[in-house]
Amino acid sequence: MADTINRLIIEVRSTLNKSFEKFDGMPMLLRFLVALGLTTPLFVLGGFIGKAATSSILLLAAFLSPMFIASCLMLVKNKHSRLLYVLASILLGLSPLIAPSLKQFTANGAGSSIYELVFSTASSLAICLYLFLSKSVRNYFVIHSNN
């Protein structure tokens, strides 16, 4: 039993070390985007702490989960993670329009204004251009890619 636990601990450490090595090999802006995606569960936790309606929190979790999944896939250098991250960014920007109960999570709390929609569209476009046109990002996903 103790031997099995020791092997499991060693395996987990090895996996974590590989993930940290891949994270260190990322370009700086890509690190920021991945870190942003990995912190999205904290926004859902903030919704619980802020005592928002349960249905709103579940919708928020549904709209944030693709970004979290894409960030995890970026750590393992999955070839589809960039596309998923862009789609998650677009979905997150449009979420107050798709689900009106999420208006409480917008900047002004009253719903999306045209300026917020323009900003979310522009930021999604900038993320898309960076992830697909940046030479350093392309090299990161090509070198030692498993998929």
- Threshold 0.75, pTM exceeds: yes
* pLDDT confidence of residue 124: 92
Q: Tell whether 147 is covered by a domain.
A: no
Q: Tell whether 18 is covered by a domain.
A: yes
What range defines the domain where residue 31 resides?
2-142
Q: Tell whether 104 is covered by a domain.
A: yes
Q: Please choose, from the candidates 125, 127, 23, the residue with its C-alpha nearest in 3D space to the C-alpha of residue 72.
A: 23
* pLDDT confidence of residue 58: 77
Angle at 118 between CA 81 and CA 51, to 5 degrees: 75
Number of folded domains that form the chain: 1
Q: Tell whether 95 is covered by a domain.
A: yes
* pLDDT confidence of residue 144: 54
Helix (H, G, I), strand (E, B) or coil at 109: coil
* pLDDT confidence of residue 84: 95
Could you state, in chain order, the average pLDDT of each consecutive group of 10 residues for the chain (147 residues)? Answer: 78 76 83 92 77 72 89 88 93 76 56 74 93 92 65
